[in-house]
Homo-oligomer: A and B are copies of this chain.
Amino acid sequence: MHKNHNSLEEFKKYREKMNCKILASGNLQIQRFFNLDTRAYQEGALSSKVKELLGLVASLVLRCDDCITYHVLRCVEEGLTDAEFFEAFNVGLVAGGSITIPHLRRAVQRLEECRTLQPHPSRRRNDKR
């Protein structure tokens, strides 16, 4: 694969549908893991915004397109500016190497899709680069 074949809407639907099936399997430990995964990004000593950034860069260096899409979405909701996005991308790129570039391309495609759907005011505000 070299581009994101599905719209953000399709991504969200498939993700929700399959998560439901996994949670309906009756395996209690998997349910608890999903719960821990959600809580890891909640406001605490570190803000949700910083934690979503951590999730985004972890997803980039581990090269998981769906995880990147999810955290791009969440970072947009947290009001991340484009300059902030690209500095985070740069940390992931330098740490993870050129092997992350195909994922970076798709991340930027996803960011564009998010900006088109929900042109967040903060995008302009702090974005001085």
Could you tell me the distance between the alpha carbons of A92 and B33 in the complex, rounded to whole angstroms? 12
The residue from B1, B18, B46, B62 contacting A95, defined by CB atoms under 8 A apart: B62
Q: How many residues of A contact B (CB 8 A)?
A: 77
Is the beta-carbon distance between A86 and B27 smaller than 8 angstroms?
A: yes
Q: Min CB distance, A122 to chain B, in Å?
A: 12
19 interchain pairs, CB-CB under 8 A: A2-B10, A2-B65, A19-B105, A22-B104, A22-B105, A22-B108, A32-B36, A34-B101, A37-B98, A37-B101, A45-B81, A45-B83, A46-B88, A54-B92, A55-B91, A61-B97, A64-B102, A67-B102, A97-B100
Using CB atoms and an 8 Å cutoff, list the residues of chain A in contact with chain B: 1-6, 10-11, 14-15, 18-19, 21-22, 25-27, 29-30, 32-34, 36-37, 39-41, 44-46, 50-51, 53-55, 57-59, 61-67, 69, 81-84, 86-102, 104-106, 108-109, 112, 126-129
